[in-house]
Structure 1
């Protein structure tokens, strides 16, 4: 498949025209919103995830410049295959959005099982490491890697020890990677969204508060200085900026999009 993307006469080229991206956890929420934005801005995209049916729907929606692949980020062979398929289909790799994640249990640290704690770290930290391990050697010089952390990768709250620990750990991984690939002009950053209107977030809010969806969302809004959730599209637009040439001098950064929660 050709990676060339040409604008129609009189139409500006997309901000990612001619670029190739790999998105993990891309079958829903922030990942799918980012895939939509990337495709609209001219990129070829491979979207990976673990939900076959949701991936199939995403592929149908995104159209011919996107492919989908089932890949659990904790499975090194599956990640390596997804990277290889991206290169085979599109000829290069310019952008990686490491987005796959799980919420994990909510409750006191002392009540969390070791197995549950490890599972959250496996997906967020080991998974991101595996993605970087296989993507960085083939990433184009001047490319971009964005890891989706969280506002609780900058702060913390009671009851979320596995998730907050994993999200903080992603920052350390990002900073090491940013220094290791800087000589190639590759930029590595983490983003730190606050509460975002996705099914993932709604599940967390209901389990944390014991309230119905609307009331749970309102309770979380009260903790956000700007008083509302982000939309997945707002987060996707931040990823677009970090993926594109406008952010060529930005690396090693923790970029908050949290409505002021980390102030």
Structure 2
């Protein structure tokens, strides 16, 4: 199920969306605290989390899938967003140092193709952060937010998907322990939910974050050598019957010799 850019923009402009943006951005920024001299890109609807990088990165762009739609960003000046196909990014090989995926893996039907294209455009040693809905969390069960659409992931599923597409997972994080409801009392307690959930490592966070590095070489699996059994038995010469002095074979019961 594809997400609509109008719904995404409306969600992040609402109080619950701003709470979600702050909780996720805090982790993203702590992992990428210095992007000076780097090229940063966001794929999906990542523009709410790209603003802190504009003052230090060489360039920051937002790539939005055609099924979702596009918005002008940043608000002032020239637009730094582009409409793309998830499996065909209009970027040269090895041109991006950091790439952030938000609302991208859950709605797509071909996540491996998306990650293969991300791998292509990342520089050697480049890093990506994928923000996905946690299938064990409450946010995946409520369809009133964008995190309730599409296919949620577990930590094990993300690990397997990344390794299949030649990424090495480095670290995982969780956010959105606050219930996904537009209630003022809950939103005021959002910082308490986040601190308590992380301190006690509670299960059921709404969002999983994973940082992974681009793996340059495909791992070679070692195979255990198994001795091959001899399929054909060893044959030895064997004489049948009696051997006569005239170097001819004969049978002891040959009537000629009687």
Alignment TM-score, normalising by the size of structure 2: 0.47
Q: Which has the higher helix share?
A: 1
- Which structure carries more strand by proportion? 2
Higher alpha-carbon Rg:
2
TM-score (structure 1 length as normaliser) = 0.46
